[in-house]
Chain A
Amino acid sequence: MLAESLALSALLFTIGVIGVLTRRNAIILFMCVELMLNAVNLSFVALSKLHGVGGQVFVIFVMSVAAAEAAVGLAIIIAIFRHRQSVNLEDINLLKG
């Protein structure tokens, strides 16, 4: 089931990339990043069956980094929403020349 897992992981990662490129809502963008992290986790778990349990340990690290990223990222989104009343990325253009 290794090949199937890796193919599924590649598909999910691609769907996440397409989501990041097509959406403008900052919260949905964050969720697409979570989907990409999940896709990579699936590869780690599938390969850990072949190469020892180190892959699963790495998945735990990825999950804690994802949790930290979600907390800080959503706090930033709330702070931006307070200023702009919007989470649309087109409205956040302060640095646009």
Chain B
Amino acid sequence: MGNVFVSLLYGFNFYLFGLIAIASALLFVTRKSPVAAALWLVNVMFCLAALYVMLDAQFIGAIQVLVYAGAIMVVFLFVVMLLNLGRGDADSDMRGSVGRIAAGAVGLALLAEVMVLARSRFPEELTLRAAQGLAPVDVTAGVIGPIAGPLFNEYLLAFELTSILLLTAIVGAVLIGKKRVTDAR
């Protein structure tokens, strides 16, 4: 009885957050003002964080809130306000009716493609099988431990490359963003 109630509640919350995410995403692409669009996108990211937690990825959920909703979106809002674009233009930046119809057609085609792929049967070699002898998640390792293990062992090279990428991005962003000092000299 209690188990059925929990699973019902789980399903209800899953669909609730999913619907909020879709509605927020639709509002996000239709808002004229960049600030309103950014705040709706933050809402999408919070809903996705809730879904990550429900999918047993609590650490990813926390990182989603910290990095995406907290850091990346703040950078976006900062740039919007730095360039003083908050009110949006007098006329909308939407493309004309041709562009909208083209976008709708491409979107429908993409969605149909994904749905067909989801329903079709693949040859045996192409299907993803659930890993057979996968070690059960070690509960004593907590939430972060199971992710940290592969991150610092199997994916160590990718991890180091990512840090080089971030360093390059920092240097590049500063170099592109700063005013030219050579002209003023």
Chain A residues near B (Cβ < 8 Å): 1, 3-8, 10-19, 21-25, 27-28, 30-32, 34-35, 38, 41-42, 45-54, 56-57, 59-61, 63-72, 74-79, 81-82, 87-88
A62 to B142, CA, bound (A): 23
Q: Are B21 and A4 in contact (CB under 8 A)?
A: no
A10 with B111: in contact, given A27-B80, A48-B57 (CB under 8 Å)? Answer: yes
Q: Are B128 and A51 in contact (CB under 8 A)?
A: yes
Mask of B3-31 contacts with A, CB within 8 angstroms, 1/0: 00000000100110010011001101100
A21 with B67: in contact, given A27-B79, A45-B55, A79-B176 (CB under 8 Å)? Answer: no
Binding site secondary structure of chain A: helix
- CB contacts (< 8 Å) of A10 on chain B: these are 111, 114-115, 118
- CB contacts (< 8 Å) of B80 on chain A: these are 27
Contact partner of A18 among B29, B60, B166, CB < 8 A? B29
Instruction: Give min CB distance, A80 to chain B, whole Å.
Output: 10
Q: Are B103 and A22 in contact (CB under 8 A)?
A: yes
Contact partner of A68 among B22, B26, B169, CB < 8 A? B169
Q: Are A24 and B44 in contact (CB under 8 A)?
A: no
- CB contacts (< 8 Å) of A8 on chain B: these are 18, 21-22, 51
Q: Are A68 and B165 in contact (CB under 8 A)?
A: yes
A25 to B93, CA, bound (A): 6
Q: Are B162 and A15 in contact (CB under 8 A)?
A: no
Q: Are B15 and A51 in contact (CB under 8 A)?
A: no
A23 to B134, CA, bound (A): 45
- CB contacts (< 8 Å) of A30 on chain B: these are 76
A40 to B28, CA, bound (A): 18
Contact partner of B48 among A28, A38, A47, CB < 8 A? A38
- CB contacts (< 8 Å) of A15 on chain B: these are 22, 25-26, 28-29, 107
Q: Are B28 and A19 in contact (CB under 8 A)?
A: yes
A97 to B82, CA, bound (A): 32
Contact partner of B131 among A16, A38, A51, A74, CB < 8 A? A51
- CB contacts (< 8 Å) of B166 on chain A: these are 64, 67-68
Q: Are A74 and B79 in contact (CB under 8 A)?
A: yes
- B residues 45-85 in Cβ contact with A at 8 Å: 45, 48, 51-52, 54-57, 59-60, 63-64, 67-68, 71-72, 75-76, 79-80, 82-83, 85
A70 to B78, CA, bound (A): 12
